[in-house]
Amino acid sequence: MQVHRDLQHLPVFRNAVITIGTFDGVHTGHQYILRQLQEAAAACNGETVIITFDPHPREVLAPHDKSVHLLTTLDEKIHLLEKFGIHHLVVVPFTKTFSELSATAYLEDFLISTFRPHTIIIGYDHRFGHNREGGLELLEAEQQRYGFRLLEIPQQVVHDLTVSSTKIRKSLQEGATALADELLGYPYFINGTVVHGDKMGRKLGFPTANIQLHDRRKLIPAQGVYAVTVSVGGQWHKGALNIGTRPTFNGSELRIEVFILDFDTEIYGEAIRVDFLEYIRSDKKFDSVEALVQQMKDDVHQARTITSRP
């Protein structure tokens, strides 16, 4: 997959079959669109082109709203999209000026002029242009004039829920990891760097790797304990991860710590990836350190059982 970040130096696409969106999470709904993209391109001997935006539009349109949490950073999104055999990903810088294009200008001066699409594939609720004034109806009205084919993707439903990035975020924030993973089509994951902590886990008999996220905008799931798998140096391991403030020790700083099972290697400064498999329990304050240690033993046993399932 070729990644393009400069709109002034794009190649001439062959029978471009395009789709547009933030594609945050590259979830099962997005994956359905990608399959339709590939089928349409194969039918016209064309190239698949995904148009996405960076930063996330909400960060530009509502800069003071700190509630924007990404399921996937741009690098993670690129990594996921590469697996689908897409020919081109065009990363469009999303600016205030770009957001103020009228729907007609967006269509004529951006989509048509820049990409000369053979086919445009969009979701049933896709909106574009200033104040989201454009949509399916405008594309339908203009497709004959500009000579492109239009394909609409209907709602995709999993367990009677419309698949959307918003629903996945909500599921993760409620600890519903299994549902989020089903909607995503893969385990939710975070990427970060192992940093030094206060070694409290080591003192309790459970040395943990403290994780500093690579991108502060990345969504952190609900506080609590999770069964996870962990990738360090390209090798995968089983683990138990805790997200919390250490209430037993009257802590206040949110920490992400993972205990890697059957692992005894110093990895400070190394990149680490954690895949969330199952939520075990919520974060809580224990009456004693002994009670906490016993619970940690139970958590690790449960995490080992979960991560050992075929």
Show which residues are catalytic: 257
* Contact call for residues 24 and 69 (beta carbons, < 8 A): no
Q: Tell me the HSE value of 94 on the side-chain side, using a 13 A CA sphere.
A: 22
Query: For residues 39 and 140, what is the distance between their CA atoms, to the nearest angstrom?
Result: 21
Helix 177-184, helix 165-173: angle, nearest 10: 160
